[in-house]
Amino acid sequence: MKIKFFYIIFFVLLSIQNVLSQENEELKVITEEVPVKKKKREKKIRPYEPLAPARAAFYSAVLPGLGQAYTKKYWKIPIVYAALGTGIYFYIDNNNNYNRFRDIYKRRLAGFTDDEFPNITNDQLISLQERFRREKELSLLITVGVYLLNIVDANVTAHLLQYNVTEDLSFKPKINFNEFDTRPNYGVSLNYSF
């Protein structure tokens, strides 16, 4: 008997729930709200081009700075030309000084004593020639190094432009203070949202 009574009460409670949930449809005004989805500002992602880094390096090899223009890093072009121009300037200046001291030394060996450095000895002229020759070679090596760095920079920049870097990936270091011993707890969270 108790079980029958329990089932009856259970059925009545379920029925009341269904009866109370029904409403008169004539009085109900239906308003539909259209959810507006906020548009995210989407980056235009260029398709992967496997030859883009090689093309950028080739352009920089043909004309320094052209690879940087190809990768749209225009601010690097004046830096490339300033570095190359500085190296070429010092090469030309050291070459002129080397030739000047070499010519004076050759004139002294030929017997002329009317040069612009009468107080400098022949041994000092030889050491000055060697110094300016070393500096000339160093200037040439630095200029070639800057030229190669220009090519490598264009290649690496073209490689890095092909990576999809979005805001979906975040890296946040966190510091939580432990309440028991008042020491900070360090942690790192890496979040990626789909």
Q: Which is more confident, 170 or 109?
A: 109
- Cα 29 versus chain centre, distance: 57
Please provide the DSSP assignment of the chain as one string: -HHHHHHHHHHHHHHHHHHHT---TTTPPP-PPPPPPPPP-PPPPPPP-TTHHHHHHHHHHHSTTHHHHHTT-TTHHHHHHHHHHHHHHHHHHHHHHHHHHHHHHHHHHHT---SS-TTS-HHHHHHHHHHHHHHHHHHHHHHHHHHHHHHHHHHHHHHHHTS---TTEEEEEEEEE-TTT--EEEEEEEEE--
pTM of the model: 0.60
Question: How does pLDDT run across 59-109, given as a tens digit for each residue?
Answer: 999 999 999 999 999 999 999 999 999 999 999 999 999 999 999 999 999
The HSE-up count of residue 192 (CA atoms within 13 Å, CB side) is 2
Q: Are 81 and 89 in contact (CB under 8 A)?
A: no
- Give the confidence band of 46 by pLDDT, cuts at 50, 70, 90: low
* Lowest-confidence pick of 20-29, 58-67, 155-164: 20-29
pLDDT of 15 higher than 80: no
